[in-house]
Amino acid sequence: MKIVKIPKKKLDLFASILRQHWEIHAPVEQNGRYAFKPLTHWSEARLHYNRTILPPKKYFMPPRETMFHYREGKGYVPAQEELDQRLILFGVHPCDIYAINILDEVFGGKYNDPYFQTRRKNIGIIGVDCTPDEHCFCRSMRADTVEKGFDLFFTDLGEEYMTLVGTSLGDDMVLMAAPLFEPITAADIQKYKQVSSEKRQAFSLDVEIHDLPEIFELEYKSEIWDELGDQCLSCGSCSMVCPTCYCYDVADTVELGSKAGDRVRTWDSCLFHTHALVAGGENFREKRSSRIKNRFYHKQRGMVAEYGRPSCVGCGRCIVGCPVHIDIVQVINRLRGEDHANRG
Amino acid sequence: MLIADEKTVKTPVLADNPYQPHLARIVRIFKMVPDNHLFTLRFEDQWTAERFKHRPGQFMMLSVPGAGEAPISISSSPTRPGVLELCVRRVGRVTDALYRMQTNDVVGLRGPYGNGFPIETLIGNDLLIVAGGLGMAPLRSLVWWALDHRDKFKKITLMYGAKNPAEMLYRDELVSLADRSDMQCLLIVDRDPTGQWKHHVGLLPTLFDHADINPATTYAAVCGPPVVYKYILQRLLALNFSKDRILMSLERRMKCGVGKCSHCSVGYKYTCIHGPIFTYWDAINLPELV
Amino acid sequence: MNKPKVGIIGLTGCSGDQLVILNCEDQLLDLVGAIDIRDFLTATSANDTESRLDVAFVEGSVVSQKDEDLLRRVRERCTILVALGTCAVWGGIPTMDRDQDRPALLRAVYGDLNWEYDTCPAKALHEVVKVDLNLPGCPIEKDQFLATVANLLNGNLPLLPDYAVCTECKMKENNCLLIEKKQVCLGPVSVAGCQARCPSLNIPCVGCRGPCTDANLKSAAATYAENGVAMEDVIRKMKTFAPVPVSEQP
């Protein structure tokens, strides 16, 4: 892998070069939290941030997306107006990149989702490493580092960012701004190892995922699920903020006074009482407890069967964003019969 | 998967769009049973119509513009190509809208989806098809596929139960099958208010008393409401059927049909791509499946 | 094509929902082009109050015998009855404390004049007649109203969300007023469709659209109380727009 570095004070220059070709979106502060937004000035970007309210999935599968326009006589015509926007997400954390890699698998395979894939092709990703806070458990979920899914990846070495070049597009970005980048030195490598070790030590949350599928099977009838069902508001917040929740609903809208309209898909949540409700009234997950169990089960056990790993990346968003403090780490530790593991 | 028709696709990016509904014309509406009409459809595009292939047990996503999309199992057999027959129960927004349509109106279709019956595995065996009520809709495709490949099976037995003769799907067709000597077609109704019914009256499981089923050489395909699964599974297990020789066709809420939207998830499987045909062994392993 | 005959009728309410319809400025011409409005007292005094209606939109809650009689007449003359706005759907603010002693309330407001009033505890439309569609909101959302008309013109009932305001609030990537500011935001139990109008302006949701079907009132009430708000205030807040069965003892 090609590895270079860029002095921090030259980042704004790098951004201005990139901006000639792409719109740059980066984490921006929003009332004490962060959100990916288009930048007007590089100074708005916050590369040291804990987590954005919504994960970058909002760029690859927007909360509402028109799939088709239908017109009488023409049928369903694919909507592609919004697909061609080329932009760069600057400052994506490893867990979020990992999550996008998981979505790649879900929206790929035998039935390729052309909307997701087109956006994926048109959006560049510059990753940045981070320091875990008290809600991060990406290390437990093996998502604290990524080796693919980014064009460039920045690691903070103090005065400069060490830059991994992940794709040929990433290399083009570096070449576009060639004078800003420098080769790395032996001292940089030492510094990188030190940073990496410090990050490892910084995790305060830990959860063991080894044999989790078996634990979920064994605890399928656990009373924990009923307790969680009583607690859960089924407000959908956890699903919206989850970087790997990809449930969506599809509906046709219609224009006033015509027979034309759009087919639109919208983020959905398996916690909604309508999620498994079929026409005719049968609801396969009527109880809230069975819905919240399904959410955890699908993420931590189902995805292992289907894609070889849990789809949770340990970003902590669902913990921060649950109004009634349902905490996935606590749930797993309780299922395992262990107390809240806290090494901090 | 179907290839999208050129008229509707402009850029190569969206040319291979699994969500693309293809226009299909309603060529016949047969009012089989109240609120269970049989719609015969034909793809508008000749190229698509000719290349369409499916397996018994698969389903289509049916679009009625403005109302939305719904999964509907295919009732016609692949051995009778050219048109598609969908037995549609009037039960929700999309099907309501479909029932307001008339022959020659145009709907959207995409598919086929789902695993379908494992026909390669079934070949060479006895076949027992058990349907209760509306469960006949997805099994009818298998019935005709097997009869059109009669030489590939040993014994074929069909058991079908409905509340009364008026609610029996494909009644005339199935009654005529009862005359065939190369299969056993057992039809039963709970009650016969007409007094004209010449077949069995009683509950579906009692048909087992009239059939000679060898569990070692038979695959059973079952579809019906939950109560049918309950009693038929009891019967089959009492006969010592192996759990993976019992095949069930299941229903779930579906939005995409291609394993993305998650509505039809059951445990760690999606009904749309891993099903809708599951073995009884799957059902034991997948909580909430039946 | 025969345009569907529509009535827009008010019971006791503030007419705010009818004003939303009149405020559909850009779509108003399309609207009157697509439907035949026969009865709309808030917009015109020349009304046909007898003929058959395909769709009746009824605003307000039932607080008198007069309201109830009118509602029953409307039900008889229409095919599809749409409850327009939270008062019609849930009873709205008039149902707040509707179990209180009626004569005592009358005395408190009008003194000891002993006038005869045609008044009864407020009811939602569905408590009196069959309602085909609920369009909640205080006031209703213009987009939902227009989508409803567009769908009805095609023979379909519209699909309205039945999940919580939180979902739409998160889609807009708002800061969470409940979690971050410990405010009593009713987003988690109130039905979406407003695109989180208030939380998007940093104002906590007051639940003006009424609860979603699956609202977990008990757990939500406990959470608000945890944030230091007296349980009785929490319950009062939750019952502002709909007589929801939230218990004192969560």
Residues A151 and A218 in one domain: no
Instruction: Summarize chain B as % helix, strand, coil (round to 5).
Output: 30, 30, 40
Residues A250 and A149 in one domain: no
Does B262 sit within 8 Å of A280, measured CB to CB?
Answer: no
Measured CA to CA, the distance from residue C242 to residue C87 in angstroms comes to 8
Residues A37 and A118 in one domain: yes
Which chain B residues have a beta carbon less than 8 Å from that of C151? 66
Alpha-helical regions (H) of chain C: 16-22, 28-34, 65-77, 86-90, 102-110, 142-153, 165-171, 177-181, 217-226, 231-238
- Which residues 44-83 of chain B have a CB within 8 Å of chain A? 63, 65-70
Measured CA to CA, the distance from residue C111 to residue C105 in angstroms comes to 9
Kindly report the backbone phi and psi dihedral angles of residue B260, in degrees, each rounded to the nearest multiple of 5, phi listed first: -115, -45
pLDDT at C106 over 90: no
Residue B271: predicted pLDDT: 86
Three-state secondary-structure class, residue A70 = strand
What tokens does C97 get?
A: 């404390």
- Chain A residue with the nearest C-alpha to that of B274: A306
pLDDT at C249 over 70: no
Residue A207 belongs to some domain of the structure: no
Task: Give the range of the structural domain holding residue A284, as residue numbers without chain letter.
Answer: 212-335
Q: Is A324 on the interface with C (CB under 8 A)?
A: yes
Q: How many CA atoms lie within 13 A of C180 on its CB side?
A: 15
Does B66 sit within 8 Å of A276, measured CB to CB?
Answer: no
Torsion of CA C27, C30, C32, C34, to 10 degrees: -140
Which chain C residues have a beta carbon less than 8 Å from that of B67? 154, 156
CA-based nearest distance B257→chain A, Å: 10
CA-based nearest distance B225→chain C, Å: 26
- Chain C residue with the nearest C-alpha to that of A256: C150
pLDDT at B10 over 60: no
Does A235 sit within 8 Å of C187, measured CB to CB?
Answer: yes
Measured CA to CA, the distance from residue C144 to residue C137 in angstroms comes to 10
Does A80 sit within 8 Å of B10, measured CB to CB?
Answer: yes
Measured CA to CA, the distance from residue B48 to residue B230 in angstroms comes to 40
Residue C158: predicted pLDDT: 94
Does B93 sit within 8 Å of C155, measured CB to CB?
Answer: no
Q: Determine the straight-line distance between the first and last CA of chain B, rounded to whole angstroms.
A: 28
Measured CA to CA, the distance from residue C211 to residue C216 in angstroms comes to 9
Q: How many CB pairs under 8 A join A and B?
A: 143
Residue A213: predicted pLDDT: 86
Q: For chain B, which residues make up each domain, given as ranges?
A: 6-113, 119-249
Kindly report the backbone phi and psi dihedral angles of residue B261, in degrees, each rounded to the nearest multiple of 5, phi listed first: -80, -15
- Which residues 178-237 of chain B have a CB within 8 Å of chain A? none
Alpha-helical regions (H) of chain A: 11-18, 57-60, 94-106, 114-122, 168-176, 186-201, 212-218, 224-231, 237-241, 288-297, 303-307, 317-320, 328-335
Structural domain ending residue among the three candidates A170, A201, A232: A201
Does B287 sit within 8 Å of A220, measured CB to CB?
Answer: yes
- Residue A337: partners with Cβ closer than 8 Å, 6 or more residues away: none
Q: Determine the straight-line distance between the first and last CA of chain A, rounded to whole angstroms.
A: 35
- The size of chain A, in residues, is 344
A70 bridge partner residues: A76, A261
Q: In the sheet that C78-84 helps form, which strands lie side by side, from edge to edge?
A: C36-39, C5-10, C53-59, C78-84, C133-135
Interface predicted TM-score (ipTM) over 0.90: yes
Q: In the sheet that A261-267 helps form, which strands lie side by side, from edge to edge?
A: A75-78, A64-71, A261-267, A248-254
Which chain C residues have a beta carbon less than 8 Å from that of A233? 164, 166, 188-189, 215-216, 219-220, 223
Residues A162 and A223 in one domain: no
Does B66 sit within 8 Å of A70, measured CB to CB?
Answer: yes
Residues A17 and A155 in one domain: yes
Alpha-helical regions (H) of B43-179: 46-51, 93-99, 119-122, 136-148, 171-177
**Interval C226-247 mean pLDDT:** 88
CA-based nearest distance B104→chain A, Å: 12
Does A257 sit within 8 Å of C34, measured CB to CB?
Answer: yes
Q: Is A232 on the interface with C (CB under 8 A)?
A: yes
pLDDT at B15 over 80: no
Residues A142 and A252 in one domain: no
* Other Cβ atoms closer than 10 A to C130: 8
C6 bridge partner residues: C37, C55
Residue A343: predicted pLDDT: 41
Residues A167 and A245 in one domain: no
Which chain B residues have a beta carbon less than 8 Å from that of C155? 96-97, 100
Residues A179 and A308 in one domain: no
Residues A158 and A240 in one domain: no
Total domain count, chain A:
2
Q: Which of A67, A68, A307 to mutate to test the interface with B (most CBs of B within 10 A)?
A: A68
Q: Using an 8 Å Cβ cutoff, are A298 and A270 in contact?
A: yes
Looking at residue B73, the DSSP 8-state letter turns out to be: E
CA-based nearest distance A306→chain C, Å: 27
Does C157 sit within 8 Å of B67, measured CB to CB?
Answer: no
- Span B6-113 CATH architecture: Beta Barrel (2.40)
Residue B262: predicted pLDDT: 82
Measured CA to CA, the distance from residue C97 to residue C109 in angstroms comes to 15
- Chain A residue with the nearest C-alpha to that of C222: A324
One-letter-per-residue 3-state SS of B142-179: HHHHHHHCHHHCCCEEEEEEECCHHHCCCHHHHHHHCC
Compute the C-alpha angle A291/B114/B7, nearest 5°: 110
Measured CA to CA, the distance from residue A186 to residue A171 in angstroms comes to 22
In one-letter notation, the amino acid at residue C169 is C
Residue B2: predicted pLDDT: 35
| pLDDT string in tens for chain A (344-residue length) | 899 999 999 999 999 999 999 999 999 999 999 999 999 999 999 999 999 999 999 999 999 999 999 998 889 999 988 888 889 999 999 999 999 999 999 999 889 999 999 999 999 999 999 999 999 999 999 999 999 999 999 999 999 999 999 999 999 999 999 999 999 999 999 999 999 999 999 999 999 888 888 888 898 889 999 999 999 999 999 999 999 999 999 999 999 988 899 999 999 999 998 888 877 777 888 889 889 988 888 888 778 877 888 899 999 999 999 999 999 999 999 998 886 544 43
**Interval C114-133 mean pLDDT:** 91
Q: How many CA atoms lie within 13 A of C165 on its CB side?
A: 29
Does A111 sit within 8 Å of B260, measured CB to CB?
Answer: yes
- Which residues 207-266 of chain A have a CB within 8 Å of chain B? 220, 246-252, 254, 259, 261, 263, 265
Percent of the residues in chain B that have a pLDDT greater than 90, as a whole number? 73
Q: For residue B103, how far is the Cα from the chain centroid?
A: 22
Largest CA-CA distance found in chain A, in angstroms, rounded: 70
Residue B290: predicted pLDDT: 62
What tokens does A257 get?
A: 């006074």
Residue A344 belongs to some domain of the structure: no
Largest CA-CA distance found in chain B, in angstroms, rounded: 62
Q: For B256-265, B274-283, C210-219, which range has the lowest pLDDT when averaged over its residues?
A: B256-265
Q: For C16-30, C93-107, C133-147, which range has the lowest pLDDT when averaged over its residues?
A: C93-107
For CA atoms C91, C97, C98, C99, the dihedral sign is positive
**Interval B181-196 mean pLDDT:** 92
Residue A342 belongs to some domain of the structure: no
Measured CA to CA, the distance from residue A159 to residue A122 in angstroms comes to 31
Q: Using an 8 Å Cβ cutoff, are A78 and B7 in contact?
A: no
Does A323 sit within 8 Å of C223, measured CB to CB?
Answer: yes
Q: Is A300 on the interface with B (CB under 8 A)?
A: no
Mean pLDDT is highest, among B2-6, C112-116, C210-214, for: C210-214
The mean pLDDT value of chain B amounts to 89
Q: For residue B154, how far is the Cα from the chain centroid?
A: 22
- The size of chain B, in residues, is 290
pLDDT in tens, C9-57: 999 999 999 999 999 989 999 999 999 999 998 888 888 888 999 999 9
Q: Using an 8 Å Cβ cutoff, are A64 and C168 in contact?
A: no
Q: For residue B196, how far is the Cα from the chain centroid?
A: 28
Residue of C152, C248, C134 lying closest to C191 (CA atoms): C134
Nearest to A76 among B8, B18, B255 (CB): B8
Q: Which residues of B117-144 are buried (b: 16+ CB within 10 A; e: fewer)?
A: bebeebeebbbbbbbbbbbbbbbbbbbb
Which chain B residues have a beta carbon less than 8 Å from that of A278? 251-253
Q: Chains with 3 or more CB pairs closer than 8 angstroms to A?
A: B, C
Residue A258: predicted pLDDT: 87
CA-based nearest distance B67→chain C, Å: 7
Q: Chains with 3 or more CB pairs closer than 8 angstroms to B?
A: A, C
Q: Is A276 on the interface with C (CB under 8 A)?
A: no
Say which residue the tokens 């179990």 belong to: C99
Which chain A residues have a beta carbon less than 8 Å from that of B19? 67-68, 113
Structural domain ending residue among the three candidates A201, A227, A254: A201
- Ordered by where they begin, the domains of chain C are 5-153 (3.40.50.700), 165-238 (no CATH)
Q: Is C2 on the interface with B (CB under 8 A)?
A: no
- Chain A residue with the nearest C-alpha to that of C161: A274
Say which residue the tokens 């004078």 belong to: A179
Which chain B residues have a beta carbon less than 8 Å from that of A81? none
Percent of the residues in chain B that have a pLDDT greater than 70, as a whole number? 93
Say which residue the tokens 């003929």 belong to: C51
Three-state secondary-structure class, residue B121 = helix
One-letter-per-residue 3-state SS of C90-154: HCCHHHCCCCCCHHHHHHHHHCCCCCCCCCCCCECHHHCCCCCEEECECCECHHHHHHHHHHHHC
Residue B14: predicted pLDDT: 59
Which chain A residues have a beta carbon less than 8 Å from that of B13? 80, 83, 114, 118
Say which residue the tokens 């827009």 belong to: C8
Measured CA to CA, the distance from residue C135 to residue C192 in angstroms comes to 11
- Chain C residue with the nearest C-alpha to that of A266: C171
pLDDT at B52 over 70: yes
Residue A82: predicted pLDDT: 82
Q: For residue B129, how far is the Cα from the chain centroid?
A: 12
Which chain A residues have a beta carbon less than 8 Å from that of B95? 279
Q: Determine the straight-line distance between the first and last CA of chain C, rounded to whole angstroms.
A: 55
Measured CA to CA, the distance from residue B177 to residue A36 in angstroms comes to 65
Residues A183 and A266 in one domain: no
pLDDT in tens, C191-220: 999 999 999 999 999 999 999 999 999 999
CATH code linked to domain B119-249: 3.40.50.80
Residue B289: predicted pLDDT: 62
Does C175 sit within 8 Å of A30, measured CB to CB?
Answer: yes
Does C220 sit within 8 Å of A241, measured CB to CB?
Answer: no
Structural domain ending residue among the three candidates A151, A180, A201: A201
Nearest to A233 among C151, C164, C180 (CB): C164
Q: Is A321 on the interface with C (CB under 8 A)?
A: yes
Residues A183 and A256 in one domain: no
Three-state secondary-structure class, residue A59 = helix
Residues A146 and A97 in one domain: yes
